Structures are given as structure tokens and as C-alpha cells.
């Protein structure tokens, strides 16, 4: 298994890097009210530029809502938020997004390259016509495909590619606009263990090379433990952020969940959180 990232961060893991030019993402006392309840409230989150943050937490805890707020798809009901020093709104090319998904339809016979290409011109009206900018676009698509190692299957229909291959294409589609912030919702879900390692190492190396700030939603921290700078744990209507060993502790998580939770570490540093499952929580 290849979980080791080439060129690991030069910075000591004990000290998260200081923000070079202020925060890429700044959420101040934010709250979202949906379906008659606060998804989360009074939440502060500051992500320095170039940092790799993994968002964890139980299903329905508001991880995706957090991404939607940063994308301008969900309005804050309280507090303020800014991304790259500006207000959140849809359609910012500086923000790349890979939503949560199941694998694409097997019958989908659109070429891999064309899916990535839509990242460049999918928002423009009309039909594409041959032109100089069209050739420039092709070069950018080639570059993005190469960056994620998808050149070999660029001409194949996307429906026939594996989950890991599709995930690389969606990453390429997000990278093709040269974003400075990358938001990824469960990119490792529905991948086998080996692909999880490969994809997380790929995201980390591309982000580091280009100085991209990454916010990645996951349900398991382990495949990402070697690449992340910080974790943000979303549960019980609040968000706890910090280094893994500060946040994922029995005390902090029990406090978040308002329910006893135990964090176990095995001999290789793998983390298991127990007591969260509904089957374990018969306490009414």
C-alpha cells in the first residue's frame, strides 16, 4: 500500500504552519438553521492559506452544510464568512469543488477529457467553436489530466472507468480553473483502501505544489492522517478544530457529542472512535 506522500511537509507536525497572507477561509460565529433546528451554531473556523483541513463527524452533523456555506450555496443564518478575503458567492473560479457522489452511470459514454473540459467552459453559453482559445483550453485540460495521472484514460467513456479513476477526473475538473481553495466532499467514499491512499496522497501533493488550501470532508481520518494539517470535527451543533491529537480525544469528542465516546489508537497510530454508532447508543 502506498500511503506515503513524496516530499512530506517540511514543517514540524507539532506546529501548524503560520498563515502566510492571512486566512483563506474565515467563519466567524456562524450558524445555519435548517428544517427547524440549528445544524451548527456559534462556530468559528479559520483556515490559513495552503493548509489541508479534514472535516470529520457523524452523518447529518453538518459537514456538507459547511462546504455549501463556503460555496455560497447555503446562506448563513448567523455570523459571517469570507473565502480568500471576499464574500462567498457561486461561480468563483478560485474555488474548486468536488461534490459527494456515487459512481457515474455505466452507460455514460462521454469522454473523460470532455468532463474535465466542462470545468473550463461549462458555464459559457452556446456551442463550442474551433478557435485559438479552444486550443489553449485543450492544453489546460491536458495539463490537469496529467496532474492527476489520468492521461492514459483521457479518451475513454467516463461510465466505464473505476471509482478511483472517476474521482481523479473530478479532481482534474476542479483543478482546471486553477483554484486557490479546493473543497472536497467525501472523495474517498466508495473507494477501496488502496485507492483511498492513492487519492488522498494525490490531493495532498497537488495542493502542496500549487499552494492550494484544501477542505476535505471524510468519515475516516486514518487514510488522511499523514497528509492533513488540522482536523475540524463537526458534531452536536458545534465544530472543534485543531491538530488531530488535540481534537480526536475521548474528552473533546464526548463533550461535542454530549455522550460518552472513546477514542482508541492502535500500535500503528490508527484511530478508532467508538460509542457513536446508533447500535451502541441505546440511552433513552
Partner 1 sequence: MHASVLATNGSFSWNPVVDWQELTAQAFMRNALLAGTVAAILCGAVGYFVVLRGLTFAADALTHIGFAGGSGAVLLGLSPVYGLLGFTTLAALGIGALQRQLRGRDVVTGMILVEALGLGVLFLRLSSGYSNQTYALLFGDILALGSGDLLVLAGAAVVALAATAAIYRPLLFASLDDEVAEARGVPVRGLAIGFVLIVAVAVAAATQVIGALLAVALIVAPASSAQRLTRRSGTGIAVSVALALAVTWAGIALAFWLPYPVSFFVVSLAAVVWGVVRALTARHRVRASLREAHAAGVAA
Per CB under 8 A, residues contacting partner 1 are: 71-73, 90-91, 93, 95, 97-99, 101, 107-111, 114-115, 118-119, 121-128, 155-157, 160, 170, 173-174
CB of 181 to partner 1, least distance (A): 12
Q: Cβ closer to partner 1: 90 or 283?
A: 90
Q: Cβ closer to partner 1: 7 or 130?
A: 130
Hey, how many other C-beta atoms are within 10 angstroms of the C-beta on 114? 14
Q: Cβ closer to partner 1: 89 or 219?
A: 89
Q: What is the DSSP letter of 158?
A: G
* Contact call for residues 40 and 62 (beta carbons, < 8 A): yes
CB of 157 to partner 1, least distance (A): 5
Which residue, among 182, 179, 231, 236, has the nearest Cα to 204 in the 3D structure?
182
User: 109: which residues sit within 8 A by CB, 6+ positions away?
Assistant: 157, 159
| Residue 240 parent element (H or E) | strand 238-242
Q: Cβ closer to partner 1: 26 or 184?
A: 184
Q: Strands of 230-235's sheet, edge to edge?
A: 95-98, 181-185, 213-217, 52-56, 230-235, 238-242
d(CA 122, CA 124): 6
Q: Cβ closer to partner 1: 88 or 247?
A: 88
- Pairing state between β 230-235 and 238-242: antiparallel
CB of 90 to partner 1, least distance (A): 5
CB of 239 to partner 1, least distance (A): 21
CB of 102 to partner 1, least distance (A): 12
CB of 69 to partner 1, least distance (A): 12
d(CA 271, CA 194): 18
Q: Cβ closer to partner 1: 196 or 244?
A: 196
Amino acid at each position: 500500500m502506498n500511503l506515503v506522500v513524496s516530499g512530506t511537509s517540511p514543517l514540524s507536525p507539532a506546529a501548524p504552519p503560520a498563515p502566510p497572507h492571512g486566512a483563506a477561509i474565515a467563519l466567524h460565529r456562524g450558524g445555519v438553521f435548517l428544517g427547524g433546528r440549528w445544524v451548527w451554531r456559534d462556530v468559528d473556523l479559520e483556515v490559513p492559506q495552503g493548509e489541508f483541513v479534514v472535516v470529520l463527524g457523524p452523518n447529518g452533523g453538518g459537514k456538507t452544510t459547511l462546504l455549501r456555506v463556503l460555496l455560497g450555496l447555503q446562506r448563513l443564518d448567523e455570523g459571517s464568512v469570507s473565502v480568500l478575503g471576499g464574500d462567498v458567492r457561486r461561480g468563483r473560479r478560485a474555488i474548486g469543488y468536488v461534490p459527494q457522489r456515487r459512481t457515474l452511470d455505466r452507460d455514460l459514454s462521454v469522454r473523460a477529457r470532455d468532463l474535465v473540459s466542462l470545468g473550463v467552459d461549462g458555464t459559457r453559453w452556446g456551442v463550442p467553436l474551433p478557435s485559438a482559445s479552444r486550443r489553449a483550453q485543450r492544453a489546460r485540460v491536458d495539463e490537469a489530466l496529467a496532474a492527476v495521472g489520468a492521461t492514459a484514460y483521457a479518451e475513454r467513456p467516463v461510465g466505464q472507468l473505476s471509482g478511483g479513476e472517476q474521482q481523479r477526473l473530478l479532481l482534474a475538473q476542479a483543478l482546471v480553473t486553477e483554484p486557490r481553495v479546493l473543497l472536497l466532499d467525501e472523495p474517498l467514499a466508495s473507494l477501496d483502501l488502496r485507492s483511498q491512499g492513492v487519492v488522498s496522497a494525490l490531493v495532498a501533493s497537488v495542493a502542496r505544489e500549487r499552494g492550494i488550501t484544501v477542505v476535505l470532508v471524510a468519515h475516516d481520518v486514518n487514510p488522511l492522517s499523514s497528509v492533513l494539517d488540522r482536523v475540524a470535527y463537526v458534531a452536536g451543533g458545534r465544530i472543534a478544530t485543531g491538530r488531530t491529537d488535540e481534537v480526536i480525544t475521548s474528552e473533546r469528542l464526548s463533550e461535542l457529542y454530549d455522550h460518552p465516546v472513546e477514542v482508541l489508537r492502535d500500535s500503528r497510530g490508527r484511530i478508532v472512535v467508538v460509542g457513536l454508532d446508533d447500535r451502541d447508543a441505546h440511552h433513552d
